[in-house]
Structure 1
Amino acid sequence: MTKYIAIIILSLFISCTSQKENSDKRIIPVAEVIGTGEILNLSNCAKSVRYIPLETNDTTLIAGISSIYKLGEMFLVQDYRRGATSQCFLYDKHGKYIRQIGKKGPGPDEYTLIRSVDVRPNTNTIFMDVNTKCMEYDTNGNMTKHIRMPECPDKMTIWESVQINDSIYLSTLTSSLHRHYKALLFNMEGKTTMLYPNHLGRIKNERGWGSSDGKYYRFKDQIRLWRSWDDTIFTINKKLEPEVTYIFDMGPYKAPMEWMESYRTDYDRTNYVFPYAIKESSKYLFLNFQCGQNAPEKYEYEITSTSPGMQQKRTLVNVDVFGLFNKSTGKLTLLNQPVKHKYLGFRNDLDGGPCFWPIYISPDEEMVTWFSADKFLEIYETLPNPSPELKALAEKLIPDDNPVLMIVQLK
């Protein structure tokens, strides 16, 4: 009898412990779901889709889009052109060109390089980190504020900058020599008011994996800090302190720091898993994982690197796996490819159009991605039953037109 009572007590203890662990919705259970996956329909989390072809004219020929932001009914598009400085253009809700924001040049109100762009919710303020300074613009294109850049800690450089409020700004930091700090706060005069130390204390690295440094993203009016080699997403809270928000449970798939900092390119041949990109809505985290040998649907693809006077093709192996984390249930679902060995993301069952994955989520819960005109037309030709809207759009496009935005409204 004593033996049976002990077994019952032990079972109850394990059950209670498990419930306690599962109730912590901050934990993203990556290790639990490696090796699983399913095709998810866009209708699982969204209710409508629309397309906005960006107006094409001689002054705004957009080769690619670095970032997109929504300001009321307008869209701010950061263009990237190979061999040239990126620029920012404003479009209305129909894709009609409104104006350029800021101006290239060496003058005090001009820029030669845009390092990062930010738009705070419910404001008409456009914030640019232009490498030597930060500037703010209104939607009429007027430069309204200069902000001095702060001095960096020894042997560190700024990766990108973002607004916290009207007078406080944050810059993420990178270094190839040490990992003392991840970010700093500064004011309009360029004075550093706070340094955020790394919680991983590696301090003597001969080389650093730069693409993992300086990561942040905005969720509505909150700023999240994270890095690919961390296991934690922090939020800058009202006291301007980093607060633990989500934790990746990588289990045996967690990459060691030495590997993450070694400039390795053999992602497809390792057993490691790490997050590479994050977007967030009120209900979900949209996660892009590099899964190495654990990617169930690896495939080869070609990219063309264009340099002045030369083009170079490279063959890469796709080991990306997308994941949808439900913030209210704590469930992580890995997505199988809706078109195997070709497209990732959600299967578009709303209008039968392109597969979808967000590159931006607006404060009013609209998800946005984009397609070059030639890519959109290529995808359109493969659609078995395109909607009348898609057909009308495809008939107006030519391959050299500016990109098409795909806007998906979340439920």
Structure 2
Amino acid sequence: MNKMSVTLSLCIGLLSGCSGNGSKSSETTDQIIRVEEALKQPEKILLSDIGKEVVYVPLETTDSSLVNISSTGTMKVMDDVILIGTKNHPIKVFNKKTGRYLREIGKIGNGPGEYTNGTLFHINAKTKNIYVEVNPTQRHIYDTNGNLIKTITYENPIGVLTTPLFWGDILYNFVTIPSPATTCFAKVYDLRTDAKLDSLLLPAENIPASEIEMVMPFSGMEIFGGRSFMMKIKDQTWCFGSRATSPFWYYKDELRLKDVYNDTIFTIKNSISEMQPKYIFDMGKWGGFKRYETEDYMSDKLIITRILETDYAIYFNMIQNMYNLNNWLKQIWPPMYCGIYNKEDGTVKVSKKLEIKNDKDAFPDFSIYNVSTDGEVIAYYQAENLVEARKDIPEPDQPDWLKNLKEDDNPVIMIIK
């Protein structure tokens, strides 16, 4: 059996083989994302590798619309609006085409219809509603006009960290960091009836019996897709998970799943018990680790922390030597990579930097933030960075919005198609 067949068998054993009905997929895939090969010749990733065109949307700057997209903020882009949340302020809504400030969603507080943290929200790409966390098992649901539709309460699977995906009337809730009491990877609920529809069981041998020693949070950072955590248990092994980015996502009404601790993107058909491999990351010597590993073993391994899928490409982030706590505490960042798989020709690029080179305009490098509900890649520039770059751009070549930009203005959103 070749290496990719072994990888596929292990991935199916980890996920499909542990499902509620024990079913496995016998299908194979030739859609291999050859990361190890691309790492032999790293190269700069360009904006033109991400998409074919870019639109810049300067966000309107007023006293009531000031936002700070940074490691402590959350931004989501829907069909016609841009939503930005910061910790102590309500979610703010901007027009996607013009950048005009429209309104706030709800209020900060502990009263009816209020919430305490503007960053803890998810969007429902199917209903276009906004799900704002009140507590780990309760969410307010708003529409984009700011109307409170209702408040829902649901059951989380048992685990240290769970991450939801809301799709229509369905909630997919995934355990990104299990605890000794965890029995399943994910549960699926009908939000109309609160009925549990499905679950993905977790084999007991994947859960250490040792007690938790520490949990370390990471605020923001695009490479994680939002707030994430490392956990150390008393047998000196580590685990990682994200609170903001679900391992589930929808692509063209097709449910996908990739757990951090396997190298396969699965397509889920009728239930999460029936998964078929769609893409396999050939990590070679950089992969092959388990859910819980020691710091020493992981020193030269690459963890894929985030995946974004569009019609054109699959974009991914990786971190090496993730579990070196001393370096994190000293703010010595581990090696961070970004990669892109071109769906049209099957080529793979990997860069030893997170930044993408803007080869379409004379603007600085940038990092990818996320993907909109329309499948566009979203990034942004802080206004002060573009004001600095403007000095090197001939005035006739500057669009009006750039000529008028001030250093303390709101960020400029990039929508890459």
Aligned to 1:229: 261
Contact 1:352/1:386, CA 8 A, preserved across alignment: no
Q: Distance in 1 between matches of 2:120 and 2:206?
A: 26
Counterpart Cα distance in 1 of 2:164 and 2:205: 23
Tell me which residue corresponds to 1:160. Answer: 163
Q: 1:377 aligns with which of 383, 387, 393?
A: 387
For the pair 1:251 / 2:284, whether they are aligned, the reply is yes
The separation in 2 between residues aligned to 1:75 and 1:35, in whole angstroms, is: 39
Partner of residue 349 from structure 2, selected from 333, 345, 360? 333
| Per-residue CA distance 1:161-197 (angstroms, 9 max, x = gap) | 222322x211122334366422211223544332223
Q: Distance in 2 between matches of 1:198 and 1:25?
A: 27
Partner of 1:273: 302
1:405 lines up with 2:376 in the alignment: no
Unaligned runs of 5+ in 2: 6-27, 213-230, 232-237
> In the alignment, does 2:355 pair up with 1:344?
yes
SS at match of 1:162: strand
Does residue 290 (structure 1) correspond to residue 319 (structure 2)? The answer is yes
Does residue 96 of the first structure (1) align with residue 108 of the second (2)? no
CA distance in 2 between counterparts of 1:393 and 1:380 reads 11
Distance in 2 (CA, whole Å) between partners of 1:376 and 1:314 is: 30
Q: Residue 210 of structure 1: CA displacement?
A: 5.8
**For residues 140 and 109 of structure 1, what CA distance do their matches in structure 2 show?**
14
Give 2:186's match in structure 1, choosing from 183, 204, 209: 183
From the superposition, tell whether residues 204 and 87 of structure 1 become closer, same or farther in structure 2 (CA, over 3 Å).
same
CA distance in 2, matches of 1:266, 1:386: 52
Note the alpha carbon deviations across 1:248-268, whole angstroms, 9 max, x for none: 22222225337x555x5997x
Determine which of 323, 332, 342 is the counterpart of 1:316.
332
- Contact 1:51 1:404 (8 Å CA) reproduced: yes
Q: Check the 8 A contact 1:151/1:192 in 2, yes or no.
A: no
Tell me the CA shift for residue 355 of structure 1.
2.5
Give the letter for the 1:63 counterpart: N
Does residue 400 of structure 2 align to residue 367 of structure 1?
no
- Give distance in 1, aligned partners of 2:272 and 2:377: 28
Give the TM-score, by structure 1 length.
0.73
How far the C-alpha of 1:290 sits from its partner, in A, is 1.7
Are 1:90 and 1:100, in contact at CA under 8 Å, matched by a contact in 2? Answer: yes
Q: How far apart are the structure 2 equivalents of 1:334 and 1:251?
A: 14
Given the superposition, is the C-alpha separation of residues 328 and 392 from structure 1 closer, same or farther in structure 2, using an over 3 Å criterion? Answer: closer
Among 37, 47, 68, the alignment partner of 2:75 is 68
Contact in 1 for aligned 2:133/2:140 (Cα 8 Å): yes
Whether contact under 8 Å (1:352, 1:387) holds in the other structure is no
Output the CA distance in 1 between the equivalents of 2:293 and 2:123: 28
Q: Secondary structure at the match of 1:374?
A: helix
Aligned-partner Cα distance in 1 for 2:330–2:252: 38
Residue pair 2:142, 2:148 contacting (<8 A) in 1 also: yes
Give 1:120's aligned residue.
Answer: 125
Please report the TM-score for the alignment, with normalisation by the length of structure 2.
0.72
Counterpart for residue 9 of structure 1: none
SS for the counterpart of 1:239 is coil
Question: Identity over aligned residues, as a percent?
Answer: 26
Distance of aligned partners of 1:59 and 1:239 in 2 relative to their CA distance in 1, 3 Å threshold: same
Specify whether residues 220 and 336 from structure 1 end up closer, same or farther in structure 2 by C-alpha distance, changes over 3 A only. Answer: same
CA 232–43 in structure 1, closer or farther in 2 if over 3 Å, else same? closer
**1:161/1:241 CA distance change after superposition, 3 Å:** same
Say if 1:50 and 1:406, in contact at 8 Å, map to a contact too. Answer: yes
Task: Identify the residue that residue 308 of structure 1 maps to in structure 2.
Answer: none
- Alpha-carbon separation, structure 2, partners of 1:129 and 1:396: 37
Equivalent pairs counted in the alignment come to 352
Deviations 1:20-57 (A, max 9, x none): xxx93433222222221223432345332222221222
In 1, Cα distance between equivalents of 2:104 and 2:148: 12
Counterparts of 2:134 and 2:296, CA distance in 1: 30
SS in 2 for 1:377: helix
Q: Gapped runs of 5+ residues in structure 1?
A: 1-13, 18-22, 294-301, 304-312, 338-342
- The answer on 1:354 being equivalent to 2:364 is yes
1:276 shift after superposition:
1.6
1:48 aligns with 2:53: yes
Structure 1 residues 126 and 30: alpha-carbon distance in aligned structure 2, compared to 1, 3 A threshold = same
Match of residue 198 from structure 2: 194
- Corresponding residue for residue 170 of structure 1: 172
Q: Secondary structure at the match of 1:64?
A: coil
Report the residue type matching 1:252 in the other structure: K
Maintained 8 Å contact 1:277/1:288: yes
